[in-house]
Structure 1
């Protein structure tokens, strides 16, 4: 299930996080809501655009394959789960009042999406009680509020929690658009262990406790990550679905004779809830067609320089060892 590139949509948020022409591994946290050229969209945690249907279908396909492959929790307390659910709902009705409705009484909450025509009924603790759908109900059925809310948006969701002694762990992850990493592998691990495979993360991981404190205790932030892909498939889980070959699934081999190359960009919003010693980390994936980027001399030169600046370790991590020279030749 492939998404459309943002190049074909009027009004879609557009980002190019490599304008300095270097591939860098750093926190790169910017104040949430700062002007990055996209108007109101830059002030939203959850961005909704004309690509919503493709994103929704990709999530339904992932869930239908095997839900536990894409959704995991570990010591995800009822208090934290309720706080995260409340934050997501509050932001959605604030950011997109035309798409979402919310009604709350003493004992129940009702959240309706005009995009999916689903209504979620929650109890006073923000736990999912039932779902009403005008279309066919999803399969498998939603098993929690977080699972149901994740299916209403175009972002993946992760939640990090911290103990009183400062230790932290990934307590929830709903990851239907994985970029070569696995929810099952990362759940329950701390920040440093989660990021240990990332080339160039050693210095950052030595400051992991300070970074987690910033995520939880400071004002919300936004950061970006990027890589290259030969397709616009949102789901690049390390384990291919049944009956799909690994070589077909990986999506990282560039063919100079039939060049297809896309810049895969992640906009990551970090929103702390210090009263619960937790933070939500959203991941919104976008694709930009490199054949369009190539037509812009400035963007092409920045992309070329950024790829050229990658270390050998980064090329291995990004799956570009075999394709690097061919990509640079094509960009030239």
Structure 2
């Protein structure tokens, strides 16, 4: 049987890379893609998702628009690492329009799809967790109906990438991250910011990857040109050298784990939470190394992975 995935994304360039890994995997069926604000505003993340599906000739996969702002509201500034539009500011005049979006709201779609395939669906969250938080508040029994949950987000060492201590997806909506980490009791696997950075690929691989002679590779090279330039500029920026030291496709780690159960080679099962009140630590993922929280539902935190498997999945994605 194929693995049934439901992907929740804020489609920027690394979301595109991750989605294309899942699209190319022969053992995977994507039941839908739900969209959230994040790397850019919701309209752009929806448009970008459709562009990715169009590039892969997979527009039959339904796409749903979801949350446009955090649970408590506030501005959506976007990450800008992937360009203002989230996809490298490389427009395509032939891109599909938003009229192809499903009319059903993303949160309703999550609840319906999981109920239709109770116990079979792997939910993969690679953006802010607002849609997932809203879904579990609408149906508190949702986690028990999932096969498992894979998340890209959070941090284990207090190293922030958008705030002093906060990783982008969690810091974008700390309340949503708190709800998901504490209320999703299904088996949950998380690829954190530090894990992604420590599992980076070489720039030599990146060039080999995007220079394959295929339409998908040309598409990828076009949309990653902006972030590649930003990474190169960071070589001389104190504190940002990680972006220049190797190719990090953050969201691809969560999808790779969902696609191939042998991708992750070491896990730590541990209690987690999210800080909501700290003036410097709001949005930081709390790792309960000494089990003081006494949490029953502990999360599987990825510690190491098989980079050769990741490279193979990524190469196949652009064939």
TM-score, with length taken from structure 2: 0.24
Rg larger in 1 or in 2?
1
More strand per residue: 1
More helix per residue: 2
